[in-house]
Amino acid sequence: MTIDLGWLLAIVGVALVILVLSGIRYIPNNRIGIVEKKFGARSVKSGFIALKGEAGYQPDVLRGGLHYLIPIQYAVHIAPLVTISQGKIGYIYARDGVPLSAMQVLASNVTANNFQDVRHFLTNGGQRGPQRMILREGTYAINLAQFVVITEERIYFLSLGRDDQQAVQSMSAIIGERRGFVPVVIKDLDDKIGVVTVHDGPSLHSGEIIAPVVGEEVGNADTYHNNFQMPDRFLNAGGLRGRQLQVLVEGTYYLNRLFATVELIPKTIIDVGTVGVVVSYTGAQGADISGADYKHGELVERGNRGVWNIPLLPGKYPFNTYAGKVIVVPTINIILKWIRGDVGVHHYDENLTEVSLITKDAFEPNLPLSVVIHIDYQKAPLVIQRFGDVRMLVEQTLDPMVSAYFKNIGQQRTLIQLIQERSDIQHIASQEMKEKFAHYNLELEEVLIGTPAASEGDKQIEVILNQLRSRQIAIEQIETYARQESAAGKERELREAQARAAQQTAITESELSITVQSNQGKAEFQRAVQQANQIRTLAQANAEQIARVGIGQAIAIDEQVQAYGGPQYQVTQLVMNRFADAIQAARVDVVPRVVVNGGGGDGKGAGMTGGNLIDGLLTLLLSDKLGVDVKGEMKREPNPEADRLRDEIRKSLAEKREDTSMQTPPVAPVTPTPPAPSTPMPPTPPAPAPGSTKPGMYTPPAPTGPAKPPKTTK
């Protein structure tokens, strides 16, 4: 049977065309193509990915579109794009790369950090195994022959065998247990912090339980790990494996749970009225700053290992309780009750009971009491260093000390004294026990003592108390009788008051009448006093007026005497004035109309020559033989009041003269004219002189020179 050669060639041609066309591969845009080279000139000698074209899985993937590969030699595995949902985390597992060192748990991604470029990853030192970097939200074209991507929804990988699939699923289960597919979210309402435990890196040093804080400098791009979200930077900064001292506070953190796990613990809250004494388990060995006198331990500065010398004040603190312990110490008053079943607010006295006493008279009462103490917040570290906590302080120190003190008090007093002198005992105890409490860095505020009570089954104390009650009842009866007696007296006073009230109208009227008459008498007395004062004042004023007028007249007369040159001339002037007045009043001629002579007709008489009656009168007046000693001075007793008034008047006159002389203009001097021959003329009545009491009295002008006595004709 012969085969047509043409048909054979046609079949071969079709087969060749089909073979050639079979090399065309179409990759959808939401898929990738993983290329596997089935045979070639060389095989991969190390590793898993054929970086140099050897037979095996190729590092590059085919993206969406048409691609041509040699048929039979290449196989293309269609795989989906890797998608990480919003708010989720994806983990990477590398099948090929440099093996991990003995100190590593996760592969480093310092240089090999591009999971979409397998060639770049492997040529830059990428390591096989789980990676430290994670995938955040987004879609990635990853070669699933080299990388396995584990997400919460699914596992992206190219199956290579049953064992490989089991390893990937085990890894996914571990991540799920650690809630590693979602970020760590710490809400502010939870009042919690995150304690981080790192599972990779160098181990802690010997004797350390907490890894120190590293990589906190934001500006350092090589070491700042942003709260453990960048594992390679954390390790580059010197971070150690284990529980970390640094904690996470409120916020969202995308952490690789294969690298670090987080435990949420409550914040340390120091309430108002308390402080927190920190006992640190980590840090450097600090120097003791408690002082040489303190022998009960050491205090260190904050940040060092030991009891910190400065406590935490009220507030919230992100304190890592794995790195230390905070002992809360109340700074408000603590009431400790030695009373069975009665517990204070702080519950430090749960195991305290009444103090059993033996009194001086052999009674055995139980004494309930309360003690109020206060701990200074600055001394709280000393108290904790010495006793461990406040409860141990109360039970191991204060309870035996207080019990022993009051047992001693009970032995010194009888039961009745113990009851009756409770206030004094309480005061004395408060004063004496303050020094003992101060020795333990405590402040004693007050000691409160209750009533001694009998032990169960003891009836003797009840007998004593009944006697005291009977005695008190007797005392109260005495007091009652005294008060009843006082009430009877008050009742009698009430009756008298009621009787007085009944006659109150008459009593009131009589009292008002007495008051009116008394007021009238007082008014009349006051009027009489006022009239007497008025008369006395008027009399004094009149007397002063008369004295002033008289002294003024005397001064005027004295001035006139001085002006005339002597008192004899003043007398002559006065006589002449009176004589002139008399002549004027009688209308007698000054020159007599008839001249009577004692002699003959020649006008000359025997014994009186050349004279008449007027001449004789004038001669008599102007002679010194008047029989009156005008030059003599009268002697009188000095009067200080008159002298005072005289000085005041003279001073007033002198001031008026000075004012007048200053106001009057100067007058030109006048040359005196010789007098004409005198013709007897009747004298002109002069104007009254200042201070003169007689009208018409003539006052001659004051002489300009010393006065001369008139010549006497003999």
Cα separation, 515 vs 520, whole angstroms: 9
Q: What percent of the chain has pLDDT over 90?
A: 45
Residue 379: CB atoms within 10 Å:
16
246 and 139 in a common domain: yes
Domain-ending residue, one of 458, 489, 510: 458
321 and 242 in a common domain: no
Write down the pTM of the prediction.
0.60
SS in 3 state form for 391-408? Answer: HHHHHHHHHHHHHHHHHH
276 and 261 in a common domain: no
Residue 512 within a domain: no
257 and 365 in a common domain: no
Mean pLDDT of the chain: 82
Structural domain containing residue 414: 272-458
Domain-ending residue, one of 235, 265, 295: 265
289 and 217 in a common domain: no
Maximum mean pLDDT: which of 252-261, 337-346, 596-605, 660-669: 252-261
Contact 172, 207 (CB under 8 A): no
The model's confidence at residue 618, banded by pLDDT at 50, 70 and 90, is: low
Cα separation, 68 vs 65, whole angstroms: 10
315 and 234 in a common domain: no
332 and 256 in a common domain: no
Residue 30 within a domain: no
Cα separation, 86 vs 111, whole angstroms: 27
What contacts 24+ positions apart, CB below 8 Å, involve 49-53? 49/96, 49/118, 49/122, 49/145, 49/146, 51/119, 51/122, 51/123
Mean pLDDT on 462-488: 87
Residue 393 within a domain: yes
What angle (nearest 5°) sits at the alpha carbon of residue 65, between those of residues 59 and 69? 55
End-to-end CA distance of the chain: 236
Which backbone phi and psi does 94 adopt, to 5 degrees? -95, 130
Each residue of 226-241: pLDDT tens digit?
999 999 999 999 999 9
Tell me which residue of 186, 180, 312 sits closest to 249, measured CA to CA: 186
What angle (nearest 5°) sits at the alpha carbon of residue 233, between those of residues 227 and 238? 95
The two structure tokens encoding residue 170: 């085990």
Residue 299: CB atoms within 10 Å:
22
Q: Is the pLDDT of residue 101 over 50?
A: yes
Residue 590 within a domain: no
Residue 72 within a domain: no
Contact 565, 709 (CB under 8 A): yes
Each residue of 62-85: pLDDT tens digit?
998 988 888 888 889 999 999 999
Residue whose pair of structure tokens reads 């007709």 in the numeric block? 601
Q: Is the pLDDT of residue 471 over 90?
A: no
Tell me which residue of 308, 430, 457, 450 sits closest to 372, measured CA to CA: 430
Q: Is the pLDDT of residue 384 over 90?
A: yes
311 and 214 in a common domain: no
Domain-ending residue, one of 265, 293, 320: 265
Residue 235 within a domain: yes
Tell me which residue of 85, 79, 94 sits closest to 153, measured CA to CA: 85
Cα separation, 31 vs 64, whole angstroms: 7
Q: What is the CATH number of the domain that holds 411?
A: 3.30.479.30
Contacts of residue 611, Cβ cutoff 8 Å, sequence gap at least 6: 619
316 and 293 in a common domain: yes
SS3 300: strand
Each residue of 286-336: pLDDT tens digit?
888 887 777 778 899 998 999 999 999 999 999 999 999 999 999 999 999
DSSP class of 541: H
Which backbone phi and psi does 176 adopt, to 5 degrees? -65, -40
Q: Is the pLDDT of residue 707 over 70?
A: no
Tell me which residue of 407, 406, 400, 404 sits closest to 351, measured CA to CA: 400
Beta strands 242-248 and 192-198: pairing type?
antiparallel
Residue 291 within a domain: yes
How many domains, in total, are found in the chain? 2
Residue whose pair of structure tokens reads 């085990």 in the numeric block? 170
135 and 240 in a common domain: yes
Residue 255 within a domain: yes
289 and 240 in a common domain: no
Contact 522, 616 (CB under 8 A): no
224 and 332 in a common domain: no
Beta strands 306-308 and 299-300: pairing type?
parallel
The two structure tokens encoding residue 712: 């006497």
- Model pLDDT, residue 109: 92
